Structure 1
Amino acid sequence: MKPSQEQEIWMYKHMLISRFFEETIETIYMEGKSPAFNMANGPIPGEMHLSNGQEPCAVGVCAHLNAEDVVTHTHRPHHVAIAKGVDLKAMAAEIFGKKTGLSGGRGGHMHIFDPKVNFSCSGIIGQSIGPAAGAALSRVMQKKPGVAVAYLGEGAANQGAFHEGLNLAGVWKLPVVFIIEDNSWGISVSKRASTAVERNSDRAVAYGMPGEFIEGNDPIKIFEVVGKAIERARQGGGPTLIEIETSRLAGHFMGDGEAYRPAGEKEALKKIDPIPVMQQRLEKEYGWSAEDDEALRTEARAIVDEAITFARESDYPAPEEAMDKVFV
């Protein structure tokens, strides 16, 4: 299953939107947080987890999905939210804590919900697994079309929820695909120091489902492998576990000193940044020109700028609205 030229350009465009969005958020996040870093200061308070480098995991999967399909994600969600079609203006406003945000500014960047495209995420490690399996079960019970995709990090594969969720998905042959974004680091703990197996995809056999490992952070390989898994799920073939080798180009969160990384690791990862790699692929395969690239980058930046401007200019919720939409 090879992507078309149109699909490859779509993937590249959404990788650019994600990267520009993250870079802009990074700059704004640091406003008011110097010379002494205090995450409570500035227009975006709290923690901030960037997904720079992991864009292929988003576009290679979401290129196969539609608004009816369910995606659940983690505390590092922006790249997948963008590829799934979450309203970027409303997402930006949510990150800024504004009343025009997806949840009225109540959830922030780790709790993004957009029912229009069936996207959600959570700051709880492994929390994506159960809701995705439940959504897939609901489709089966109601005889409705659609699949579910649960994203998780490699550290979440050591949580109890991982084993419970995959076991039930295997028992019930649910139309769900589990995507592990393996960036080698669970906060500051390396995968080698925390996980008994070299590849989490090998664990799939214990739950009666196929397991696939995709190396190289390559959106085309991801598209091909995930496409087969999603088609299998749509046709009633059951779940699949897919582990994607990817790169976390930033720290675990903004302000992370990253002293735990081996010397030279980040520099080596930046040399294989997936965005210039994808640009070079388009040049080689389709004669993608410098003019083509500049036009697409200009379009992507305009989309991001419009969303950020909307978020900045939106109002904060009034104090008396604090208890609205809250169960008490």
Structure 2
Amino acid sequence: MLNPELRPGRGAPINARSMRFDDPAREADGDWLDARGEIDDPTPLRTEVSLETPRTIITRNASPDIGFDRSINAYRGCEHGCIYCFARPTHAYLGLSPGLDFESRLTAKPGAAALLRTELSKRGYEPRPIALGTNTDPYQPIEATYRITRAILEVLAEFNHPVTITTKSDRVARDVDILGPMAAQGLASVAISVTSLDRAIARTLEPRAPTPTRRLAAMRTLADAGVPVFVSVSPVVPGVTDHEIEAILSAAADAGATGAFSLPVRLPHEVAPLFRAWLDAHYPDRAAKVMALIRDMRGGRDNDPDFHTRFRGQGPYADMLRTRFRLARDRLGLVNAKFDLRTDLFRVPTAQGSLF
């Protein structure tokens, strides 16, 4: 029987709601909806966008293994549909599924730039780099319409505030007119994620993300404009993308990347069953092997939630991945990804403009 929830162009093969927050899933009751996959082919799933009006826009964190203490997420959910996305479980807080809902029922924050201006203008604000793209992609497809990320960058540029961006979209190159001048002052850097150079693999892993070729082209555009560009070889999926580490680093170096970092795949909370279902749908021949390698890196579990080890992995397989990455990175002259940006240029603009 065809999986009734496997939709064309979408990542998650299922749309089960989370039970962690007492949101009961619908049980099969024998009506026609339970057999809709046998009646018709699955219909394409349309993207729905709701608007959110939060009171604040800067999110703070005190995690000991994260290199920034503040971030902004312009959107909830992400249309890229990356099956491995560690942000999927956040949709459970909204009473929605971390599966198909996460990539099709999105939330946008059109007032983000105005909120940011207010927060940066508060007396006593101390600047530190703000990270964009830490939860969901700031340049996912709906950014073309809402342009919230661009509005945020315009405010940050006005305040001379440092920013780091992580994305897997070539749409970031659209904002090179802002990022170039900011980078010239030491205020901006960009990391672009390339998980695979194989379009067939990328299409299943990240169904609505730009192709690897377009991401590499965006690296070149940014690098030519003087923007420090890093390649994120993340996440590395054992048995699916691990053989490409060296090739990705080489292609990124050729495209102008100056640094690189890499993380093994993580499967927190509802991501683990989604990922297993994805393996069964797309890679049934190696599903057991992939999960065995992941558990080998995670102390026998599907996921390791512990600080300091959750981003690294453990065991001989994780050690081998790190060694391969380090040797290739050093051979290509790429540096460790460190976002050393200036904070001393920060200023709150006045109605009369700066005197200097």
Would the TM-score normalized by the shorter structure come out above 0.5?
A: no
Structure ID, larger Rg: 2
Higher relative contact order (CA 8 A, sep 6+): 1
Query: TM-score band (shorter)?
Result: 0.3 to 0.5
TM-score normalised by the chain length of structure 1: 0.39
Return the structure number with greater helix share: 1
